[in-house]
């Protein structure tokens, strides 16, 4: 009752929830706008400030501190991003709006449980407009199962306590299957005449990829310890851009935010914190990107030609990619689905 007293629907939140972007930015803009000197410096400074805590978190959960910091930097700019909404008001507004009523009623009940159990201070429950809590941006159900009281003060304070924040992010990733001492991705060089249709999400061992001529970008051979790992080949910008072997942990980062480009940025930030290089191959920026309307038209045309792009929705998903591959193959083009 106290949690909801005086709350009225917030029209700003409804407007934000109903906004649809006209186009999705190209992957190279997404990466460049997030792997910035500022964000790299911010991560390094935070690491220097709380290194013993990060080391202890890494030792407990097996997740490297660079990955924790990468997620932290993207979710809340290391806690510097303003949380402009009351979580109760944001969740209640989205439940009231009705598009995802049951889901947000569930979040609201979880929020009440957080307070009832004394895990969080009710005065502290700030969120994004979508109801994501604190510096790791957890929804309330995730908070209940996953947030950690790392300093043992009785509160899982993901708003102000950096140890609680770092441990909560690491716990989330370890809980979803993070494998210590395995890479996230490795950049690859493809042989000439390579069949780009192999970059269709199929898992093969690194040894198998090596037999097909897929080599480390820096030359030489793949590390012995990686040869038995399962990886998929990923061309985020098609045949003219970088080629990446994605390992299991790449998919684990996607569990935090279901986006390939998000996972790629987290991994690139982690490398940058350690002073390691970013991608060697350049992005094919000259290719530009499609608007939602253009993607809709593409899907309609592909369906008309008998390629199954699915119900046209203006979003370039895996079915559209498969349909584009089919068309490219029929035209003797590089079947990269891009």
Q: Please give the DSSP secondary-structure letter assigned to residue 4.
A: T
Taking the least distance from each CB to Ca ion, the nearer of 60 and 189 is: 60
Residue nearest to Ca ion (CB): 149
CB of 43 to Ca ion, least distance (A): 22
CB of 155 to Ca ion, least distance (A): 5
Task: Kindly list the residues in this chain that would bind Ca ion in the complex (CB under 5 A).
Answer: 149, 151, 153, 155, 157, 161, 164
CB of 313 to Ca ion, least distance (A): 43
Q: Please, which residue, 108 or 125, has the CB nearer to Ca ion?
A: 125
**Quick one: 77 or 124, whose CB is closer to Ca ion?**
124
Distance, in Å, from the CA atom of 296 to the CA atom of 312, rounded to the nearest integer, reads 5
Nearer to Ca ion, 75 or 157 (CB): 157
For residues 247 and 184, the answer to whether their CB atoms sit within 8 Å is yes
Sheet hosting strand 215-216, strand order edge to edge:
204-205, 230-234, 243-246, 185-189, 215-216
Compute how many other C-beta atoms are within 10 angstroms of the C-beta atom of residue 126: 15
Minimum distance between the CB of residue 127 and Ca ion, rounded to whole angstroms?
19
Q: What are the DSSP E strand ranges found in 143-237?
A: 185-189, 204-205, 215-216, 230-234
Q: How far is the CB of 85 from Ca ion (least distance, A)?
A: 23
| 58 or 161: CB nearest Ca ion | 161
The span from the CA of 255 to the CA of 16, in Å, is 24
């Amino acid at each position: 009752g106290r949690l909801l007293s005086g709350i009225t629907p917030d029209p700003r939140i409804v407007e934000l929830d109903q906004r649809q972007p006209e186009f999705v930015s190209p992957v190279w803009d997404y990466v460049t706008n997030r792997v910035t000197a500022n964000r790299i410096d911010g991560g390094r400074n935070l690491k220097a400030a709380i290194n013993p805590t990060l080391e202890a978190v890494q030792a407990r959960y097996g997740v490297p501190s660079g990955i924790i910091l990468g997620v932290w930097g993207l979710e809340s700019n290391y806690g510097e991003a303003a949380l402009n909404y009351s979580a109760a008001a944001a969740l209640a507004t989205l439940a009231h709006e009705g598009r995802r009523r049951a889901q947000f009623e569930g979040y609201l009940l979880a929020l009440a449980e957080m307070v009832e159990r004394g895990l969080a201070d009710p005065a502290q429950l700030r969120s994004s407009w979508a109801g994501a809590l604190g510096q790791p941006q957890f929804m309330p159900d995730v908070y209940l199962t996953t947030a950690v009281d790392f300093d043992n003060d009785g509160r899982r304070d993901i708003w102000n306590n950096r140890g609680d924040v770092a441990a909560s992010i690491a716990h989330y990733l370890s809980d979803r299957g993070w494998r210590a001492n395995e890479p996230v991705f490795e950049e690859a060089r493809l042989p000439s005449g390579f069949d780009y249709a192999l970059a269709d999400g199929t898992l093969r061992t690194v040894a198998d990829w090596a037999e097909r001529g897929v080599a480390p970008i820096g030359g030489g051979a793949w590390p012995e310890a990686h040869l038995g790992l399962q990886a998929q080949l990923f061309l985020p910008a098609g045949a003219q851009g970088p080629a990446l072997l994605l390992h299991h942990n790449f998919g684990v980062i996607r569990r935090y935010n279901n986006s390939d480009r998000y996972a790629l940025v987290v991994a690139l930030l982690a490398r940058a914190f350690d002073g390691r290089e970013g991608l060697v191959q350049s992005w094919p920026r000259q290719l530009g990107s499609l608007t939602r309307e253009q993607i809709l038209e593409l899907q309609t045309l592909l369906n008309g030609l008998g390629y199954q792009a699915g119900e046209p929705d203006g979003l370039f998903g895996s079915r559209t990619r498969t349909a584009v591959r089919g068309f490219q193959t029929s035209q003797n083009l590089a079947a990269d689905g891009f």
